[in-house]
Structure 1
């Protein structure tokens, strides 16, 4: 599936070579809609062409592979993440950014699983620049800056992926059954039972996410 060089490092082809009113932007719009409906596994070039009412061949004037489409779609989602105006409160600025990042991931549950792909799109890079600039204002430099950047990304992507997967795979009865299963084995899992593992009422996702941010910033001071 891979075409080697990332889509971000290749120039867009001339639009005059194709007569249909088809653009890369339109392709990405349709791709995001299909991804929201069917997930990454359900996106095919044929299905995308059908959604756009064009032939699959027409798509290849603008993108080479499905990988290109996925990279472009992920960057489009990052465009939904608000970039706040920088203030003197660098940690608050950072929290605003990563909260928006998490919200965008949860709005598009297919996205967290693709974030490990080459992240060279303008929307991704602009938000990564803001994140690191906020950390620099907080005193982070060098390797410490790289470590905390990676940790924050892992908190956002990991929590979003877990939440999105759990929401897709479980109905309320299944979640209740999972909690009951753990609670019914206190001898085997005493720590899990005591900590309220899988107990949404006790430890909701929003709380765990906020505590995760605090833990990262507190555990790795500049």
Structure 2
């Protein structure tokens, strides 16, 4: 997203602390917004607080963005930037690139938990669009027919989003999980399968994500 105006704001005298701050830019606004969202969550970010953190006036901030929704868009797109897996021959190992891309997507959202709640309702920025374009290109090159490509993309999207939101919101302690499993043991007559698998004690989130992704990719491309 480019700055929406050219030129500079009016030339009123600025306090000394304003003059020594780096100049405002969309990149600096986005970076600062991410820091604030990480610390305070979505509800903690206001235009006044953001302007104060940037060392600028609110009107100077509005010179670059229209409203807080623009700030959310910038922050979300910044954290979803993707750097391709190096030294991969995509014609030979498309699966490694897909796995890397989706694991990176999940990891980035887990580092910034607010992003998972914002993504479904935000305008898609250039970074997430570039990620989806690359994913579509890899799947298409690997043999997914055009009529099935959207289904494949949305299936992977839904898997990443569901796994991320579940992990980010599942904050049970070890004691909580143990107590839950003990309750299942007492009720094993009614829930024998999940009691036997010790479902509530399984906290291998990364392993479950990776194996589940393999299941999904195997369905798209049977080995």
Please indicate the TM-score interval, normalised by the length of the shorter structure: 0.7 to 0.9
Residue in structure 2 matched with residue 5 of structure 1 by the alignment: none
**Cα-Cα RMSD:** 2.2
Contact 1:105 1:111 (8 Å CA) reproduced: yes
Q: 1:61 aligns with which of 55, 60, 63?
A: 63
Q: Which moved more, 1:94-103 or 1:28-37?
A: 94-103
Contact 1:179 1:198 (8 Å CA) reproduced: yes
Residue in structure 2 matched with residue 42 of structure 1 by the alignment: 44
Residue in structure 2 matched with residue 84 of structure 1 by the alignment: 85
Q: CA deviation at 1:17?
A: 3.2
Q: CA deviation at 1:63?
A: 1.5
Which runs of 5 or more structure 1 residues have no equivalent in the other structure?
A: 1-7
Q: 1:95 aligns with which of 99, 116, 119?
A: 99
Larger Rg: 2
Residue in structure 2 matched with residue 70 of structure 1 by the alignment: 72
Distance 1:189 1:43 in 2: 44
Does 2:135 correspond to 1:135?
no
Aligned pairs for 1:4-15 (under 5 A) are 12-15=3-6
Distance 1:78 1:14 in 2: 26
Contact 1:148 1:216 (8 Å CA) reproduced: no
Q: 1:195 aligns with which of 194, 197, 206?
A: 197
Distance 2:103 2:63 in 1: 36
Distance 1:56 1:104 in 2: 29
1:176 and 1:38, CA in 2 relative to 1: closer, same or farther beyond 3 A?
Answer: farther
Contact 1:82 1:100 (8 Å CA) reproduced: no
Residue in structure 2 matched with residue 17 of structure 1 by the alignment: 8
Q: CA deviation at 1:186?
A: 1.6
Distance 1:39 1:77 in 2: 14
Does 2:164 correspond to 1:173?
no
Task: Give the number of equivalent residue pairs.
Answer: 208
TM-score (norm 1): 0.83
Q: CA deviation at 1:100?
A: 1.1
1:17 and 1:95, CA in 2 relative to 1: closer, same or farther beyond 3 A?
Answer: same
Structure 2 residue matching 1:198: 3-state secondary structure = helix
Which runs of 5 or more structure 2 residues have no equivalent in the other structure?
A: 12-17
Q: CA deviation at 1:119?
A: 4.6
